[in-house]
Structure 1
Amino acid sequence: MLRILHLPGTVSLKNGRMHVIMNIYRKIDKSKFQFDFLVTDMEEESFIDEIHSLGGKVYTVHKNQRNNFFLLFRKLQNVLKQNNYQIIHYHATSQWGTVLLGLKKANVKQVIIHSHATVYSDSIIKSIRNGILSLPIFFSGTKFIAVTYEAGKGVFFRKKFKIIPNSIDTEKFKYNEQNRQLVRQRLDINNNDIVLGNVGRYSKQKNQLWLIEIFYSILNMDNNKSWILLLIGQGKLKKQLVDKISQLGIEDKVVLLNTQSDIEQYYAAMDIFCFPSTYEGFGMAAIEAQSNGLPVVLSDVIPDAVKFENSFEMSLSDSEKIWAKKIIAISRHTIKRSNGNFLIKKAHMDSDSVVREWEKIYTMGNYGK
């Protein structure tokens, strides 16, 4: 059995990359491959119990060691020495990128560098800093993988890389009428209400503040329909979202929730999904929504790989009123929700297809050297 050491930074339930890793971990042949994790950040809500139940281990770094290069290097070396890992799977970007140069001494055969985003940060200063700190990955990596072409070019520049998209459990995320009724009853949403949904971290990148402006325009432009905005996530901008909703006087039209463990049920309760992110390495929520059969209105910076026949691209330079008109127009048409699974499988983004690709990567020779 091959034990692979993952370096994701955190095993938090709120971390998008961890959901990507866990989608692979749950489906991979564990008689041949096993995942362990070395992380610098631990939160109360994490995947640690599920990782243990699947046979994996989680190693942590003490809080006061997180930003100390030498202590991080020593911790990584100790974990490698004790367990004799042949493969390291590093998820750019985290503190671990600064200490990868010493892996040759630890007898590691493969170092997989996995890009999940198109930029190093949404802040110019942090992007420059993270780019400099990530320079060791170009010397230590043996395989370079990106979730999309854009994510590869944005992080790896001219380095050769292979594209493996994020996967989704199509059975879990397929449309279910019972889930729709259950969630709508739970949230006191009427059957005739049109629910515009968004799932993602409450952040500048995910652009929910502007989505509220779009929704406000919808309410002003479509008086004949009852609309509800359903936002699901967590993050630093939550208070600003609450304040914005209050400022516009639409508290009775917006449902603001924290991250939900049964998120597939909430997609079923929606009618249209809006994804106005300012950048995305992949756009997992857009895939989940489309797997549930939802029409998706998304920004023009979202990678083409996640745009299927039920997705509608809009420019971020367009006004909120133009976005509102498009969303209202889409609401006038009926889309067959049961077609979502077919679209995902056709694009080879279902879990079975993607996991087979990762099994090949973990066993093949060096890529990109």
Structure 2
Amino acid sequence: MRVLHIFGAMNRGGAELRTISLMPAMTERKVQFDFCVLSGNQGVMDETITDLGGRIHYIKLSWGFVWQFFLMLRRERYEVVHSHVAFVSGFILLIARLAGIKKRVCHFRNTSDGRSSWLRSMRNGLLRFLIRHNATHILGVCEGALSGFIGESWRESSQCKVIYNGFPAAQIVHQLDFWQELIPNYSGKKVVINVARMDVQKNHLRQLQIFYQVTLLDPHVHMVMVGLENADTKAQLIQYLARVGISDKVSFLGLKSDVMRWLSHADVMLFPSLWEGLPGAVIEAASVGVPVVASDLPGVIEIARQLPVVNALSLKASDKTWAEQLIKQLNRSDEKSARVEQFTVSDFQLSANVEALYAIYSE
């Protein structure tokens, strides 16, 4: 069976990484994943995909796209087209239907596209109509994703289904001196971590405002920020740290490929995002027993139902309230192994994700 996944580009985003992580198990079931990227550009994950046996079609979403995409689908004869590009999936799946693709999957990975205007609402209404009439299956990474893009009526539709992203159980060897070379004058300080690219959605300035309050409650705490950096955003953050006098308490570590090592050595994760689908970093932290304090978004609340190590707070709560919750989590007395055990019996296991998607592809 051959499945074509549609993305903008194959870079290190959550949806891209989660889809690629399925490839070995799907190959064992004789399902091949190929990809079509609408930017027409190569991505940092391309080599990983080809190493795992997948192919990548670079077809830019431009004036010639419809004909090129249609001809490619007719030539390749995929059994499934699985689109991950939010409302644009309606347009993609219409072409797939015209090309004779029998199984057409729309997969919502977020709870919002983060933009609003009268013109965009009109455009989204049309694309939502196309999704409803051209998708054989409409998936969401959480209930909030389907509610945000389709509306509450999804609950009565056999077309719609929640499939949680899956994560492998990580086996990380703990290093006592892990932070020694990274944090100046480190002497066993507790570490607050955030893992996210520097983007408006991830609320980085609010993170530092909350952490400043943490330092007032406990000066022996350090924060590390891991993720793709934006020069303008970073400059604003550095300016804020200098103004409140805690520049020596925050480290910017940039993009890391082995993010689980960093997470597993932290003491708590701070994650006050403005919007998310099913935030992978939150599940990854919980999977290695690291407590999380995150904004009470629908996906976060769904994670917290199964993983009590995740604590949801309103973004309307004060920075001090957030800081107090972080301090509480830093001083937990329960065993880390018990927190990890909660993950191993949750619906966020990689094997559960494989089973759910394979059932849709093969029905």
User: Hey, what does 1:115 align to over in structure 2?
Assistant: 108
**Which residue does the alignment assign to 1:339?**
338
> SS of 1:201's equivalent?
coil
**8 Å Cα contact 2:2-2:78 kept in structure 1:** yes
Pick one of 146, 153, 167 that aligns with 1:152.
Answer: 146
Contact 2:2 2:31 in 1 (8 A): yes
1:203 to 199, 203, 214: 199
Pick closer, same or farther for the CA change 1:127–1:230 going to 2, 3 Å: farther
* Contact 1:118/1:152 (<8 A) preserved: yes
**1:94–1:72 Cα change, 3 Å:** farther
Identity %: 25
Per-residue deviation, residues 298-325 of structure 1 (Å, max 9, x unmatched): 1122422211221222221111011112
Say if 1:283 and 1:302, in contact at 8 Å, map to a contact too. Answer: no
- Structure 2 residue aligned with 1:284: 280
CA distance in 1, matches of 2:133, 2:298: 30
CA distance in structure 1 between the partners assigned to 2:334 and 2:237 by the alignment: 30
Amino acid at match of 1:153: S
When residues 231 and 329 of structure 1 are mapped into structure 2, their CA distance, relative to the original with a 3 A threshold, is same
Counterpart AA for 1:168: F
Q: 1:8 to 1:36 in 2, by over 3 A?
A: same
Deviation (angstroms), 1:127: 5.8
Change (3 A) 1:25 1:319: same
List per-residue Cα deviations over 1:47-69 (Å, max 9, x = no partner).
111111111000112xxx43x2x
Paired residues of 1:277 and 1:302 also in contact (CA < 8 A): no
Secondary structure, aligned partner of 1:282: coil
1:218-257 correspondence to structure 2 within 5 Å: 218-223=214-219, 226-236=220-230, 237-257=233-253
User: What is the aligned partner in structure 1 of residue 48 from structure 2?
Assistant: 50
**Does the aligned pair in 2 maintain the 1:39–1:58 contact within 8 Å?**
yes
Structure 2 residue aligned with 1:106:
99
> Residue 367 of structure 1 corresponds to which residue in structure 2?
none
Q: CA deviation at 1:195?
A: 0.5
- Computed over aligned residues only, the root mean square deviation of the Cα atoms, in angstroms, reads 2.2
Contact 1:196 1:274 survives alignment (8 Å): yes
When residues 73 and 12 of structure 1 are mapped into structure 2, their CA distance, relative to the original with a 3 A threshold, is same
Determine if contact 2:224/2:250 at 8 Å carries over to the other structure.
yes
User: Do residues 79 (structure 1) and 72 (structure 2) align?
Assistant: yes
CA distance in 2, matches of 1:323, 1:105: 51
- TM-score where L is the length of structure 2: 0.89
Bigger Cα displacement from structure 2, 209-218 vs 351-360: 351-360
Structure 1 residue identity aligned to 2:325: K
**Distance (Å, rounded) in 2 between the aligned partners of 1:146 and 1:187:** 39
TM superposition shift of 1:328: 1.6
What are the Cα deviations for residues 247-305 of structure 1, in whole angstroms up to 9, with x where unaligned?
32322111112221000110122101111112211111110000111111111224222
In structure 2, what is the Cα distance between the partners aligned to 1:301 and 1:273?
16
* Offset of residue 240 of structure 1: 2.5
Query: Which digits, 9 at most, give the CA deviation of each residue in 1:208-256, with x for residues without a partner?
Result: 2101001111112224xx1111111125433332332233232211111
Question: Closer, same or farther in 2 for the Cα pair 1:26/1:230, shift >3 Å?
Answer: farther
2:229 and 2:255 in contact (8 A); partners too: no
Is the 8 Å Cα contact of residues 81 and 93 (structure 2) preserved in structure 1? Answer: no
Partners of 1:18 and 1:133 in 2: CA distance: 26
The residue type equivalent to 2:25 in the other structure is K
Matches within 5 A, 1:1-369: 2-13=1-12, 15-41=13-39, 46-61=44-59, 65-66=60-61, 68=62, 70-93=63-86, 95=88, 97-119=90-112, 121-125=113-117, 128=121, 131-132=124-125, 134-135=127-128, 136-157=130-151, 158-159=153-154, 160=157, 161-170=160-169, 172=170, 174-178=171-175, 181-188=177-184, 190-223=186-219, 226-236=220-230, 237-303=233-299, 304-307=301-304, 308-364=307-363
Q: 1:235 to 1:53 in 2, by over 3 A?
A: same
1:89, 1:114 within 8 Å by CA — same for their partners in 2? Answer: yes
Q: CA deviation at 1:139?
A: 1.6
**Alpha carbons of structure 1 residues 191 and 19: separation in structure 2 relative to 1, 3 Å:** farther
**Distance change (3 Å), C-alpha of 1:194 and 1:182:** closer
Q: Point out which structure has higher relative CO (alpha carbons under 8 A, 6+ apart).
A: 1
* Alpha-carbon distance between aligned partners in 2 of 1:216 and 1:336, rounded to the nearest angstrom: 28
AA partner of residue 325 (structure 1): E
The verdict on how the C-alpha distance between 1:122 and 1:104 changes in structure 2, with shifts beyond 3 A counting, is closer
